[in-house]
Structure 1
Amino acid sequence: MNAVASSQADGDGRVRVSLAELIALRGRVSRLRVPPQDSRAMHVGAQTSRLYGRGMDYAESRAYQPGDDVRRMDWRLTARLGRLHTKLFQEEREGQLLILLDQHSSMRFGTRVRFKSVQAARAAALAAWYAVKAGERVGLMAFGESHYLQRPRGGVRGALDVCGMLAKCDATVSGQSQSLSQALQHVIKLQRGANRVLLISDGQSSDEVARDRLLEMMRHTAVRLLIVADALELEQVPAGSYPIEHHGERRQLVLQSQAQREAFQQRLGEGQARLTAMATSLGIPYRIIDTAADPLDAVGALLRNGGGRR
C-alpha cells in the first residue's frame, strides 16, 4: 500500500530519501547542547550499571549468567561460595552507537507527509549527527528488503558514511527479507561489547524470538527503540472512502462501519503494538513518532544518558 500521492522521483524527501536533507540535518544537531557520552555507564530500563569489558581494572564479581565469558570466571569466589561467579572489569573506551534500521516493505508506506522509510532515515541521520557530536563512533546496519553494514566510525566522516548508506539502502531492494530476530542475532555476533544500539522500526518484522534476542543483547549493550508509525496505525480514520495505491494500481478503500475502521486500524498497527509491548516488558526505553513529526526530540531523548520511555 503506497498511500502517498506524489511523484516517484528519487530524493524527494517524501517517498524517497533525500541525501542532501540527511546531510543538512547536521545543522540542527550542531545547535543543541549534547553532553559527552559516558561509555562506562549503561542504562537498561530504570537500572543503572557499569559497562564492563576486557579492561585492566577489576570492578567486582557477580553470579555467573549464561553467555558470560568462561575465561573471566572468579574461581576463588566460586570455590568459597560453591556457586559459579564471573569477574567484571571496567573498560575505558570511546563510545559506540550502532543504528539498526528496518528496511522491510511495510516501511514504504505513509499517509501523512512522507513514507515511514523516509522518516526512519531522517531519524537515523539525526542519531548519527548526535552521536558524533557526543564523541561517539557511529555505524549502521540495515535489514529487511535491503541488507547493508556500515561499521562504526568516528567524527564527521562517520556520520556522512551513515547518511550515504541510508540513501543507498533506500534506493536498493534485494528481494530477500529478514526477521527482526535474525537481524538482532547478526548484531549480537558483530557487536559484542558495543555500548549502544538504536533500533528504528515499525514493528511489523518483530517475531517471538526477537524478545529473547533483545534480552541477550541487553546483557552487553544499552538498547534504545524508536518506533515509526503512520497516523492510520495510531488512531481510527473517519468513515469514508480512501484512494490507495499498491504496486502501481489505484484502488478505493471503503471504511464505513465502526467495526471496519477498528479492524483496519488494529491490522495496520499490530506491528508497533507488538514491539511496544516487547519493549515495555523488557524495560527498553522507547519513543513512538508518526511520519509527520519532527524526530529530533525523540532521538535526543533516547540518546541522552538514561534515555526514557513513553
Structure 2
Amino acid sequence: MSALLDTSDGDGRTRVRLAELVALRGRVAKAALPRLESHAMRAGQQHSRLYGRGMDYAESRVYQPGDDVRRMDWRLTARSGRLHTKLFQEEREGRLLILLDTHASMRFGTRARFKSVQAARAAALAAWYVVRAGERVGVMELGGGQRLLRPLAGTRGALAVCGALADLDSATTEPMPESLSDAVLRAQRLARGANRILIISDGLSCDEAARGRLLDLGSKAGVRVLVVADALELALPPAGRYPLEHEGERRDVVLFGERQRREFQQVLGAGQTRLNALAQSLGIPHRTIDTASDPLDAVMALLSPGVRR
C-alpha cells in the first residue's frame, strides 16, 4: 500500500482526507503520554553483564549496597550530593497492527462524517500515538481486499499508515465480505511480531467463530476493540422521516411509532451491539465512538499501558 500523498484528497466527510490524517499528529503531540510502568531490576537481582545494549533506562535511585558501580548516575550524584544508581529495563519494541474494517457498511453516517472516515481518523491517531511512544505500527484491511502494511517505526511508519488508510478508502472496487473470524486468523498468520492488535470496526462482520479465534489471538498479543457507530445505531432515533441513499438510490424511511423506531435502531445497530458484547464476554478492552466525536480519548484509553478493560 502506498504512503504517498494523493493530490485528489477527500472531503473529510464521505471520503478520507489524507491531509487531515497527517495533521492529527499535532493533536497527539499535545496529549500527555502516560508514565510507562517500570520493570527495572531491584537490588539483590542478578544484573546482566551486557547492560546498555538492548536495555532501556528506567529511573535512578539512591545507591544501595551491592549495586553495580558501573551503573552509577554521576550527574545526579553530583547534583544531589548522594550516590545514585541507574536502573534499566529490557528494551522491547512494541508493534501495533491495526485491523481496519473496509466493508460497505462503513460508508454510512448521519452526523459529521461516514463511519469509514471516522475509523480512518481513529487509526491515524493510534498510529501517531504509538510511534510517539517508540513503537512500530502497521495496518491490515478487514475486508475482501486483504491488504497489509507491516509495522514500521517512527514518523515514517505513521505516515505510511496514513497513506495506506487513504489508499484503502479511495479503492474503486468494492471489497468482498470477510468475516471477523477470517480476518483474525489471517492476522495471526501474517502479522508476526505484532504484540498488540487494534480492531476498528462497526461490528457487522462479527461472527460466532470470531470468539475462538480472538481467544487464540489474545494468548499471543494484546487485543483491543474500537467500535465505530452512527448516532442512529446507538440510540432510539427521534420520530420523523429519514432520507437514506444507497448506490444512487434514495428512499425515505418513515419512523413515527416507538416500536418502529426501536426495531429500526436494533436492526441498524446490530453489528456494534454484537461486537461490544463479544469483547465484553472475552474481557477484551473496548470502546465505542460515534461519527461526530473526537476519537483521541478512546484511542488513548485502549492503547495506554496497563489497560485491562
Counting only pairs closer than 5 Å after superposition, residues 34-183 of structure 1 correspond to structure 2 as 34-35=33-34, 93-172=92-171, 173-183=173-183
CA distance in 2, matches of 1:214, 1:224: 10
1:99-143 alpha-carbon deviations (Å, 9 max, x no partner): 110111111000000000000000000000001001100000012
Higher strand proportion (structure 1 or 2): 1
CA distance in 1, matches of 2:282, 2:37: 23
Worse overlay, 234-243 or 126-135: 234-243
Asked if structure 2 preserves the Cα contact closer than 8 Å seen for 1:193 and 1:220, the reply is no
Asked if structure 1 preserves the Cα contact closer than 8 Å seen for 2:223 and 2:285, the reply is yes
Letter in 2 for 1:117: S
Cα distance, 1:127–1:18 mapped onto 2, change above 3 Å: same
Task: State the match for 2:15 in structure 1.
Answer: 16
Q: Which blocks of at least 5 consecutive residues in structure 2 are unaligned?
A: 1-7, 40-53, 55-88
Asked if structure 2 preserves the Cα contact closer than 8 Å seen for 1:127 and 1:299, the reply is yes
CA distance in 1, matches of 2:282, 2:16: 32
CA distance in 1, matches of 2:157, 2:36: 16
Task: State the match for 1:205 in structure 2.
Answer: 205
CA distance in 2, matches of 1:289, 1:273: 13
Asked if structure 1 preserves the Cα contact closer than 8 Å seen for 2:104 and 2:174, the reply is no
Asked if structure 2 preserves the Cα contact closer than 8 Å seen for 1:38 and 1:95, the reply is no
Which is higher, the Rg of structure 1 or of structure 2? 2
CA distance in 2, matches of 1:124, 1:31: 18
Task: State the match for 1:225 in structure 2.
Answer: 225
Task: State the match for 2:239 in structure 1.
Answer: 239
CA distance in 1, matches of 2:260, 2:9: 35
Task: State the match for 2:299 in structure 1.
Answer: 299
Asked if structure 2 preserves the Cα contact closer than 8 Å seen for 1:37 and 1:136, the reply is no
Post-superposition offset of 1:39: 11
Divergent runs of 4+, >3 A: 35-40
CA distance in 2, matches of 1:17, 1:130: 19
How many residue pairs get aligned? The number is 253
Q: Which blocks of at least 5 consecutive residues in structure 1 are unaligned?
A: 1-8, 41-54, 56-89
TM value normalised by structure 1: 0.78
CA distance in 1, matches of 2:90, 2:277: 33
Cα distance, 1:277–1:229 mapped onto 2, change above 3 Å: same
Asked if structure 2 preserves the Cα contact closer than 8 Å seen for 1:147 and 1:174, the reply is no
Task: State the match for 1:28 in structure 2.
Answer: 27
